[in-house]
Amino acid sequence: MTGAEEIRQGLGVSGGIGIGRVVCFRSRTHEVFRIPLQEHQVEGEIERIRRAVGIAHDEIQAIRERARDELGDELAAIFEAHALVLHDDLFLLRIEERIREKRINAEWAVYRTAEELEKRFAGLESENLRARAEDLQDVSRYLLRSLQGIAHHELSEVEGDVVIVADDLTPSDAVRLGRQRAVGLVIEGGGQTSHTTIIARSLHLPLVAGVSGITQVVGDEDPVVVDGSAGTVTLHPGKETLQRFRRRQREFSIAIASLEETRAVPPVTLDGERIELMANIDLPEEIDEAVRYGASGVGLYRSEFLYIERSPELPTEEEHLEIYSRMIEAMAPEPVVIRTYDLGGRKLARQVMESEEDNPVLGLRGIRLTLARPKIFEVQVRALLRAGLKGNLWILLPMVSANDEVRRFREFVTAVMKGLDEDGLEYSRDFKLGAMVEVPSAAITADLLAREVDFLSIGTNDLIQYSLAVDRNNEHVSYLYRPLHPAILRMIRFVVESAREAETELAICGEMASQTRYTPLLAGLGVRRLSMSPRTIPDVKGKIRTLEIPRLRELAAECTNLGSADEVARCLESYEAED
């Protein structure tokens, strides 16, 4: 099969390069037919389903053990539930009953029974419980595959490296495929794949999501390259393209190999100064990844994702509680910084706000919205305080522009505690309260703000946009988005000094924290806590271990006296060129 080189763009959600030949899973749903049986065939059919259960059982156990060894307990729990569902009387007995009563084939009985149970789950109020229907779907697929003799290990008999192209893959697919010949995954979907993504990353398996229509254009055995970092899928790669990707693949595997070594190494400069590296995460399951990359705590959990997932409804207190508790417990005694809701009302849910805002970026969002809608956000705060019992909770308030917002939030917390007392619920009083420094007014009054809170966290992305009046997504002005602008450096310097004087913790959690070219400057400005995407921790750590603080102080002093971002950039370049 030949064809011209063709590149499809998707979303790279798990990094790395995979070079191989396509195996296409055209549809995740099996073709299931209703086949009536003769009476004498019924017992044979029961035998068949029992054998299939045995095969599925062994497979689930194997995946579960692999998940536990390679991914940790948190993710292995997904597969633990599968084993229980497989043997559940509500499922299995009902399937056998159906075969006997209706005299139908096992496939149809599995399909109908799962469908019936899924409907009952769909009627439940709790989102967490509703989501358990996924376990049921996953288990049904195991059973159907076993019944139809499509054993999963067939894939291992395919010659050479395989790139799986599918409309969607479940977490268990990812575990299974990652340990066979698969070197890359491409899926059309991209919405509900979060667990799959996390598992693919854990296995260092490149995954590109959201490539719509890809299953229609590829053919089995087509040569293909998956670049999970750039989010591209290259069909029929030419010779030069292949060479280029092979080179990048080698670089990537060297970086992965050094990961294990760097995790154990402390983030300490040559002269012994420690810089804490924490993880920014969006999903509770990323905790495992954070630990694996050596994070000392979660520096930023953005709670908006919980709301977005649930929109247009609001998450319940129990849903908040479960997610917060899991993260805090898994990280204890290291801190977990949970940021309260940081979007505008329109993104949240219909019931919060219906009015349009001309300029939502300067509108009712973050802490402003929280204080304006106490009835709604009481739910989040109650769950936070209750989850605080599980470990080391730091609550972070977004979009703070003045001290009185922190004071009003404290009053709000006091009222929430009273409500919890009345309900006889236990909660933590022993948590830290902090403010994001991302609005210029907060940066300029950082000395005052530092007295109100237990910690400050500089969100550089928004601070730069608000300070320089630049929308970085607007192509006409995005060139003005300059992290090294003297105004930004001076603000960071002032916030760091203010925090030190007030003996308040300080962290940086914007993109600047994750880019090694800024690390020397930030360290020189006195920053001792950085929070970033888990995967960037090893790089930043490696950088820190080459630094010497006295030299960096000089560098920072020099940079903050320069007149433009370009001059600062040149100054940093010449520092890097030093020995």
Partner 1 sequence: MIEKKTRIINALGLHARAAAKLVHTAGEFESDVTLVRDGEEADAKSILGILLLAAAQGSDVVVRAEGEDEQEALGAVIDLIEDRFGEGA
Q: Closest separation between CB of residue 321 and partner 1, Å? A: 6
Question: Helix, strand or coil for residue 310?
Answer: helix
What are the DSSP calls for 538-557, one per residue? HHHHHHHTT--HHHHHHHHH
Which CB sits closer to partner 1, 232 or 316? 316
The region of 113-121, 152-160, 178-186, 285-293 touching partner 1 under the rule CB under 8 A is: 113-121
**How far apart are CB 383 and partner 1 at their closest, in Å?**
9
Among 389, 420, 433, 562, binds partner 1 (CB under 8 A): 389
User: Which SS3 state, helix, strand or coil, does residue 159 take?
Assistant: coil
In the complex, the smallest distance separating the C-beta of residue 390 from partner 1, rounded to whole angstroms, is: 7
Minimum CB separation of residue 187 from partner 1 in Å reads 25
Report the C-alpha gap between 301 and 340 in whole angstroms: 9
Residue 61 C-beta: closest distance to partner 1, Å:
15
84 versus 361: smaller Cβ distance to partner 1:
84
**Which helix (H) or strand (E) element contains residue 507?**
strand 505-508
Answer whether 178's CB lies under 8 Å from 205's CB: yes
> Which 417-456 positions form the footprint of partner 1 (CB under 8 A)?
426
* CB closer to partner 1 out of 168 and 318: 318
Identify any residues that bridge with 458 across adjacent strands, giving them in sequence order.
437, 508
First to last CA, the chain: 53
Nearer to partner 1, 390 or 528 (CB): 390
Of 8, 176, 302, 386, the residue at the interface with partner 1 (CB under 8 A) is 386
Q: Which of 128, 156, 474, 561 binds partner 1 (CB under 8 A)?
A: 128
DSSP 411: H
Give yes or no for residue 322 binding partner 1 (CB under 8 A).
yes
Judged by CB under 8 A, which stretch of 303-311, 316-324, 394-402, 409-417 contacts partner 1? 316-324
* Nearest-10 crossing angle of helices 486-502, 460-468: 130
* Contact criterion met (CB below 8 Å) for 532 and 280: yes
Distance set, CA 131 to CA 124, 173, 387, 518 (Å)? 10, 18, 22, 41
The upper half-sphere exposure of residue 226, i.e. CA atoms within 13 Å in the direction of its Cβ, equals 33
Q: How many residues of this chain bind partner 1 (CB under 8 A)?
A: 27
Using rule CB under 8 A, residue 320 touches partner 1: no
Task: Give the residue with the Cβ less far from partner 1, 82 or 176.
Answer: 82
195 is catalytic: yes
Nearer to partner 1, 321 or 495 (CB): 321
Residue 215 lies near partner 1 (rule: CB under 8 A): no
Provide the mask over 59-98, with x wherever binding to partner 1 is found by CB under 8 A and - wherever it is not.
Answer: ------------------x--xx--xx--xxxx-------
Considering only CA atoms, which of 547, 39, 77, 513 is closest in space to residue 288?
Answer: 77
Q: Is residue 378 close enough to count as binding partner 1 by CB under 8 A?
A: no
What single-letter DSSP state applies at residue 36?
A: B
CB of 419 to partner 1, least distance (A): 15
Q: Is 152 a catalytic residue?
A: no
Site for partner 1 in 130-189 (CB under 8 A): 132, 136
Q: Kind of pairing, strands 298-302 and 182-187? A: unpaired
- The only residue of 321, 488, 522, 537 in contact with partner 1, by rule CB under 8 A: 321
Cα–Cα distance, 418 to 426 (Å, whole number): 11
- CB distance 83 to 57 below 8 Å: yes
Q: Are 323 and 301 in contact (CB under 8 A)?
A: no
CA atoms of 155 and 143, how far apart (whole Å): 18
Active-site residue identified among 57, 195, 204, 236: 195
CB distance 222 to 236 below 8 Å: yes
Interaction site with partner 1 (CB under 8 A):
77, 80-81, 84-85, 88-91, 117, 120-121, 124-126, 128-129, 132, 136, 318, 321-322, 325, 386, 389-390, 426
- Residues with catalytic annotation? 195, 509
